[in-house]
Amino acid sequence: MISVLRLNHRKRDKRITTHCALTARAFGADEMVFTGEKDPQIIETIEKVVKKWGGKFKIKYSKNWKKEIKNKKIKVHLTFYGEKLKDKINKLKGKDIQIIIGGEKVPREVYEKADYNISIGNQPHSEVSALALFLYEYNNHKIPENFKDWKIKIIPSKKSKKIKTRQ
């Protein structure tokens, strides 16, 4: 089970939070919980994607990130201040994890509560790219291609857009 906890969503960051959820789903996470400002439109958008493109991905809002971080999963905070991904990824593969990604400034308490503070790189970067790279490594360089219950899917093509649909 892979859960993503997106900290401190702000409505002005709607696009980034949505992209975090899309990336989590596309790269194999099971769910994403976001905290901060409540934004039902994000939940609605992602639920439409899941209904159309398939899969069992869940998204929800929580008022309190501290409550969410108390679960029994291994807590992996993605930050550019952490230990190198390549040095820790093999310890995490195949385990139930909670991936924590920031929004605005991440509280010090997150660093302290995390089992691992993992660095994708040691330069400022997007939480979307950090999440994608982490999941790519965690899943042995595999990206899920087939989601159950799809109504639309892409057919790989060299020069055109090809899709397959079903009811």
Whether the pLDDT of residue 104 is over 80: the answer is: no
Separation CA 4–CA 71 (nearest Å): 12
Separation CA 51–CA 149 (nearest Å): 8
Q: What is the pLDDT of residues 77-102, one digit of tens each?
A: 999 888 999 999 999 999 999 999 98
Can you tell me the mean pLDDT for 59-78?
92
Top-level CATH class of 2-165? alpha beta
Domain boundaries, the chain: 2-165
Backbone angles phi, psi at 5, to 5 degrees: -110, 110
Q: Could you tell me the pLDDT band of residue 1, with boundaries at 50, 70 and 90?
A: very high
Whether the pLDDT of residue 60 is over 80: the answer is: yes
Can you tell me the mean pLDDT for 34-38?
93
Amino acid at 103: G
pTM of the model: 0.93
Parallel, antiparallel, or unpaired: how do β-strands 58-61 and 163-165 relate? unpaired
Do the Cβ atoms of 47 and 70 come closer than 8 Å? no
Parallel, antiparallel, or unpaired: how do β-strands 58-61 and 74-84 relate? unpaired
Tell me what the pLDDT averaged over the chain comes to.
93
Q: What is the pLDDT of residues 38-56, one digit of tens each?
A: 999 999 999 999 999 999 9
Structure tokens at 132: 């994608």
Looking at the DSSP bridge assignments, the partners of residue 165 are 152
